[in-house]
Structure 1
C-alpha cells in the first residue's frame, strides 16, 4: 500500500466571523503532497495553488503565515480541478497521512461545498503523524508543532514552514522515522462522514484502548440509552466489564464512567457527543485501561458536579 502525506493551507473570511459562509469557514488555497511506497520511499510530490471563490481577499493572519499573495491565488486553478488532480496523483489504494486531524476534515468540507464528496468515502482511516510522533517520542496526549518535531529529529530545515508542499515534505520525513509497529497500531479515524446506520458503526481496537463510533441519534438522551453506547467491555480481553460508576454527564458534550475487569483492573470510559454538518448527533466512545488513582479522579469529578448542582439549587 502507498502512503500519501499531504498538507493544506486555507484562508478564512477577512471581514470577521459574522460575514463568513457557514458552509465553508475555511477555503483551501494550496494543496501539497508526498507519495511514498510501502517501504516509505518517496515516489513523487504534488503541488497546486487554488484560486479562491468564496474569500478572494486574504485574511491578515493567512497573509502573514502562508507566504502567498492574492496575485498568486488569482493565478491558481479551480478547486474542483485541483482536488481531482490530487486524487489522480494519490491513486486508488493509498493511506493518507497528515500533521494533526484538521486537514482531512477541511478537505472533505471543501469537497462537499463543491459537490465533490462522492470522490472519497468516509469514515476515513488515516495516519495522524502528529499523534504518532507523540506516541513514539513523548506521551500519548502530547501534541507538538511540526517545526518542533523537525527540530527534535534534527531534520534539515531547507524550506519554509506553513507552505503546503514543504510542510508535507517535513511530515513525510517524520513519518518515515516512526517505527512501523507504532504506525500499524495507531491509525486514526476521521468522522466528518460519520456512520449513518447501525451496520456502519465502527469498533476499533488499539494498544490500551478501544474506540466505538455510533450511528446517528436525535438527542443525547436517546444516544445514552443505546445499549451499545452504554456498554463497557475490557479493551484488553474484550469481556464485559461491570460498571463501578455509571455514565454521567460532565456538562455539555462529554460523559464519563468507571468499570472493572476482573483480569485487567480499572477501566475508564469517555463518550463524546459530536454533531454532523446536518445537525445530527453521534457518539465517539473510548474505553481505556485506568489506574485506581484515575478512577478516583473521575469519581471526584462526579462528586464535584453534584455539589455544584446542589449549590445552584440553594441559590435559586
Structure 2
C-alpha cells in the first residue's frame, strides 16, 4: 500500500478536485476504514455551494461503509470488521446531548463537513461511530445513514401499526422512508410525484397507490384521508398543501429540506380542533444500528436503490448526476480503478 490515496476534495466554495492526498493515520480511539461504498446526496452539493456549513479544504461524504484496516493499540481486535459509519460527532455534554438529542449538539461536527469524510479510499473515524453490518453488501450498508435519518423521523412520529400514509416525492429519501415504514408495520403507502418513472419504481418498493402530480398534490390525493403525510420534496408550497391531506389526529413530517426563511400559513384552530401534529426531524440520532437491522430484514431489492456507481476519478460526473430523474442513490466505489498499489 502506498502512503497516498485518491480523494474528492472540496478546495473552496464551488471548487473541487480529484487528487492524491496522504492516507490518514488513526489516533487513540480511532479506526482507519477502507471505504468500499460512499453515497452522494444533495447535502454534498449544498456543502460545495456554501448552503450547508463546512470547513475547506474538505473531503466530503457522510454516507459510507467499509472495512477496518488499522486501529490504535486498544482497538486492534476490530481490524477486519465490516462497518457502516455514523457521520455525527457529538460532545455528549451540552444540554441537547444530555437531553437525548446528540444530532442537535451545539458543538457537534460531522464527517464530510467539519472532518474529512468518505469520498476517498480511506477514512479515519471514531470507534463509536463505526457499526458492524454483518453480511450486508457494502453498497447496501452505505444506505444505513439515510435510513437512519428516516428512523429518526419515524421514531419521533410515534407511529401506530396499520395507519394510512402518503409520501410526496418519490426520490431517494421517499423510497427509503417507504421501506423504513415497514419497520413500524405501516404497509398502506401512497406516493405522489411529478415524474411517472419514479412512481413506477415506487411500486417496486411497496407503494400501494401512486398519483402523478401536475399541479397541486391536493388535486390528486384526497383531503383528510391520511394518518401520516411525509413531504420528501423540500418545497414549501408542497408542505403547505400537505396539511390538508391529514386525517383527524394526523401527523405531518416536513422531511425534505425547505429553504431557510420559508413560511407556511396555518390555522391554529384547525391544529387544535383536529389534534394535528407537525414533527421536525433533523439528520440522524444514533439510528445506525436500527437502520442496519431494517436493511438486514427487508425483503425489498435494496441493491436496486443504487442506480449508478462511480470511481472517485469520475467525481465531476458523479456530482452532476445527483437528483437525476432516472437515478435513486448514486455512490462512489473507491475500489474501482483507484485502489493504491
Q: TM-score, normalised by structure 1?
A: 0.28
Larger radius of gyration: 1
More helix by share: 1
Report which structure shows greater RCO (CA 8 Å, sep ≥6).
2
Q: TM-score, normalised by structure 2?
A: 0.27
